[in-house]
Amino acid sequence: MRTPWRLVPRHLRAHWVRTGLTAAAMMVAVFLLCFLMSIVTVLEKAVSESSANRVVPQSAVSLFVELPLDYHGKIAAVPGVENVAKFQWFGGYYRTPEDFFAQFAVSHEVFFDMYERDMRLVEGPNGPVGASGLSADEVSAQVIQAMSDNRRAAIVGQGLIRDFEWKVGDLIPMQSVFVPKADGSAWEFEVVGVYEPLKANFDDRTMFFRWDYYEETCNNAGDMPATGVGTYSVTIEEGYESGEVAARIDALFANGPQRTWTPTEAVFQATFVAMLGNVPLFVSTIGGAVAFAIFFSVVNTMLMAARQRSSEAGILKALGFRNGVMGRLMLAESILLSLVGGGLGVSLAIATQEPFRQMLGAMLPQYAVLNETAMIALGVSLLIGVIAGIGPAVTLSRLKVTDALRSEG
Amino acid sequence: MALPINYSVRNISVRWASSLFTALGIAMTVAVFAGVISLQEGFEQLYRERGRPDVAIYLRPGANSEGESAFSRERANILLKERPEIAVDAQGHPLAAAETFLAAYMEQVIGGNTNVPLRGIQPASIALQGDALQLVEGRWLEFGTDEVVVGQPVSERMVDCALGDTLVLNMTPFKVVGVFTHAGAEGGEVWGDAERMLEALDRSYFQRVIARLKPGTDIETVAAELEDDARVPAKVLSEVEYLAAQTTYLSGVLEGLAMILTVIMGVAAVLGSMNTMLASVGARTHEIGVLLAVGYSRFSIFMAFLIESAFIGALGGALGVLIVLPFDGLQTGLMNWNTFTDVSFAFTITPKLIMTSFVIAFVLGIVGGTLPAARAAALKPVEAFRAA
């Protein structure tokens, strides 16, 4: 006789409280598993999506040592260098230090060219793309024009617009911890454009403003003059190898006054991930503990189910079903239960992606539950269902009809 | 009449497999909680309780850590020489030092770069640390020369940092002449003459001034006075406050993580134990009918099942603590985001943490058991009797 598969959902429904509790436990745990895995994959993603044709000359000594301003011209003269931009971490805050986001002073003249593949300008002084027939190119041109017309001009990511409810045209006062003004007053920036990231490693909560405004304000009104450049960003001319160009830059400053280290953008990002040290390991360990906890919970349920099922197994056998039938039903029940619980967990993780991204804020602005993460979580659920079901399934299959019928569950 | 506790304990052993799996679910929850908190505890111990109330740290206004702070030489000198609250030694020199601080790249012996703090010190710096600081190998550095002393973990974990090695900072070779230990995070630093460090690193600013205060100095008054000072605006903190401010980010993240994980895993564990207890009640429906019939009160039945569940919780707590106990004392390293440097410390499991873990496990057991126990207590004797 064929296996009566329709008994599987019936069994689950017959003990709906137990099924519900197990599925709920599974859902919560798989959700947590997705969350933890997403943290690790997002960190890795930042490295793999970095631009291969950009290198980042910086101090070989420390992330916090600046390079001299006159390196700009020297780097630009290196064969194979297409464009050079200065980058400086501003370290400011809006309203309170807790409202953390990144701000960089950049060489605005070349910045938009160098980063056109990383972000897209979606709103300018005359409105967003699409409004009153504005094309993407027109908006870009208007933002770039506004940037060069206005010393205090800044562009900000969509995330900042959303979180602080800023608008294009707003004047943003900011205090800086690193380069405070001598009189203690706030720096002021005017939002002239909004960008949308095109790559997973490009933050949507960053503000970019003009290098010359930074330098002059430091020198004229700052507590201390601008002494250098945090990092340079260099695009490589077509036909040149980024490793060779980087080596040429480093060789140029091998005798000081500041030695440079010129990693590709991917290596630079990887050092930030490496700085997290054991964090990915810890997160993975916790993920493993969570997976075990769910496993125990499902095994427990299946054991309970198997206990109640033995007299039924006897009846099925007495009716003429073959030996393995009850075992197969048991395994199917375990797998179905795990997949339902796991599926709900994955759905919950995907549904809560946005609030979690906001909660993690600046710590992990690219938080997202990727498809591969969801697939792995479902795979883990399936595996748990199989393993948890095998033990009881084998026991049930081996039961003798007489013993099975005698037991009372 | 109350049911003997033995009744609940026996039930656990009769259904041992279910009880064990439920306890393991709770154990995992507790283990994750205890693991993350022991990490935080080890990190905090580097900073907490080390601060001295009569040692003051002077930073630039707005700065919370050395990395964010800066004093020009002129301003640092004013603080060092002119502040009346700073104590003096037997020779009449102020017990104060201007120090530089830089998180610098260093290569680990096991490979890969990490950020190690380079501290430029002045002669008073060593005396100011008191007994917390001990030289364990070699000698202290000679001021005015290119020599450094390194903390013991740095000496072991970083390339070119063993006694006798030469450590190149930017372009300048420094000789490692001593190895020290320090009970606090300073134990993971590299120390050299501040003037030589500034020169080698092509920098011109000091990061902080550290000073011992005269007895009876009210630090609040000094802080208020210097906050808006025209010549040297400064933020003045006692060492206690200063060190407490160095752990905020990482500690907060670890605490938040422990909380989120415990709540989510706790929910799953409670659902699991509810399942087990419902099955336990279901299998004993007939028995409960008997108990009710012979005169046991509903409350005693409720308690019997609640105790059973609490026992499973306690068992889970014990297993959970057993899982994390081997981690105690295990050295690890994490980035301290306040100072942007790598700090090494050990998982630290305190008696208090063990207690807390037990309480959590116990509570999870009780929460999971309440509903099934209530269900058992609400059974009607006649119907329960009838059940198989």
Per DSSP, what are the bridge partners of residue B105?
B115
CB contact under 8 A, B265 and A293: yes
**Tokens found for residue A169:** 């045209």
What pLDDT was estimated at residue A409? 43
With contact defined as beta carbons under 8 Å apart, do A160 and A221 qualify? Answer: no
How many Å apart are CA A243 and CA A248, to the nearest integer?
9
CB contact under 8 A, A224 and B72: yes
Q: Does B277 touch chain A (CB under 8 A)?
A: no
Q: Does A290 touch chain B (CB under 8 A)?
A: yes
Percent residues over pLDDT 90 in chain A? 18
What is the ipTM, given to two decimal places?
Answer: 0.75
Q: Does A276 touch chain B (CB under 8 A)?
A: yes
How many Å apart are CA A48 and CA A201, to the nearest integer?
9
With contact defined as beta carbons under 8 Å apart, do B60 and B229 qualify? Answer: no
How many Å apart are CA A254 and CA A257, to the nearest integer?
8
CB contact under 8 A, A61 and B105: yes
Pair type for strands A81-89 and B55-59 = unpaired
Q: For chain A, what are the domain ranges?
A: 7-47+278-406, 51-263
Question: Residue A21 is nearest to which of B63, B170, B275, comparing CB atoms?
Answer: B275
Closest residue by Cα to residue A334 from A385, A394, A379, A393: A385
How many Å apart are CA B199 and CA B195, to the nearest integer?
6
Q: Does A224 touch chain B (CB under 8 A)?
A: yes
Q: How far is A180 from chain B (nearest CA, A)?
A: 9
Q: Which amino acid belongs to residue A120? A: R
Q: Which of residues 104-163 of A touch B (CB under 8 A)?
A: none
Chain B CB contacts of A21 under 8 Å are 271-272, 274-275, 278
Chain A CB contacts of B39 under 8 Å are 282
How many Å apart are CA A147 and CA B97, to the nearest integer?
46
Q: Does A304 touch chain B (CB under 8 A)?
A: yes
HEC profile of chain B: CCCCHHHHHHHHHHCHHHHHHHHHHHHHHHHHHHHHHHHHHHHHHCCCCCCCCCEEEEECCCCCCHHHCCECHHHHHHHHHHCCCECECCCCCECEEEEEEEEEEEEECCCCEEEEEEEEECHHHHHHHHHHEEEEEECCCCCCCCEEEEEHHHHHHECCCCCCCEEEECCEEEEEEEEEEECCHHHHCEEEEHHHHHHHHCCCCECEEEEEECCCCCHHHHHHHHHCCCCCCCEEEEHHHHHHCCCHHHHHHHHHHHHHHHHHHHHHHHHHHHHHHHHHHHHCHHHHHHHHHCCCCHHHHHHHHHHHHHHHHHHHHHHHHHHHHHHCCCEEEEEECCCCEEEEEECCCCHHHHHHHHHHHHHHHHHHHHHHHHHHHCCCHHHHHHCC
Q: Which residues contact A391 (CB under 8 A, 6 or more apart)?
A: A299, A302, A303
CB contact under 8 A, B60 and A223: yes
> B197: how many CB neighbours lie within 10 A of its CB?
27
Note the pLDDT tens digit of each residue in A28-87.
888 988 988 888 888 777 777 776 788 999 988 888 888 888 898 899 888 888 899 999
What pLDDT was estimated at residue B388? 55
What pLDDT was estimated at residue B90? 84
Q: Which of residues 163-192 of B touch A (CB under 8 A)?
A: 169-171
Q: Does B342 touch chain A (CB under 8 A)?
A: yes
How many Å apart are CA B196 and CA B173, to the nearest integer?
11
Chain A CB contacts of B105 under 8 Å are 60-63, 261
Residues of chain A with pLDDT under 50: 409
Omega within 30 of 0 (cis) for the link into A257: yes
**A:B CB pairs within 8 Å:** 166
Q: For chain B, what are the domain ranges?
A: 5-47+248-386, 55-242
Q: Which residues contact B84 (CB under 8 A, 6 or more apart)?
A: none
How many Å apart are CA A46 and CA A200, to the nearest integer?
6
How many Å apart are CA A92 and CA A87, to the nearest integer?
15
How many Å apart are CA B328 and CA B334, to the nearest integer?
16
Question: Residue A294 is nearest to which of B268, B332, B340, comparing CB atoms?
Answer: B268
Note the pLDDT tens digit of each residue in A347-386.
999 998 888 877 776 667 678 888 888 999 999 999 988 9
**Tokens found for residue B100:** 């530089």
Interface test with A, best of B15, B105, B160, B339 (most A CBs within 10 A): B105
What pLDDT was estimated at residue A349? 92
CB contact under 8 A, B267 and A64: no
Question: Residue B21 is nearest to which of A28, A223, A299, comparing CB atoms?
Answer: A299
Chain B CB contacts of A296 under 8 Å are 21-22, 24-25, 28, 272
Question: Residue A293 is nearest to which of B39, B68, B269, comparing CB atoms?
Answer: B269
CB contact under 8 A, B271 and A32: no
**Hunting for tokens 């269902």 — which residue is that?**
A385
CA distances from A388 to A290, A304, A385 (A): 15, 12, 5
Interface test with B, best of A286, A295, A387 (most B CBs within 10 A): A286
For chain A, the average pLDDT equals 84
Residues of chain B with pLDDT under 50: none
Q: How far is B239 from chain A (nearest CA, A)?
A: 21
Question: Residue B271 is nearest to which of A21, A175, A255, comparing CB atoms?
Answer: A21
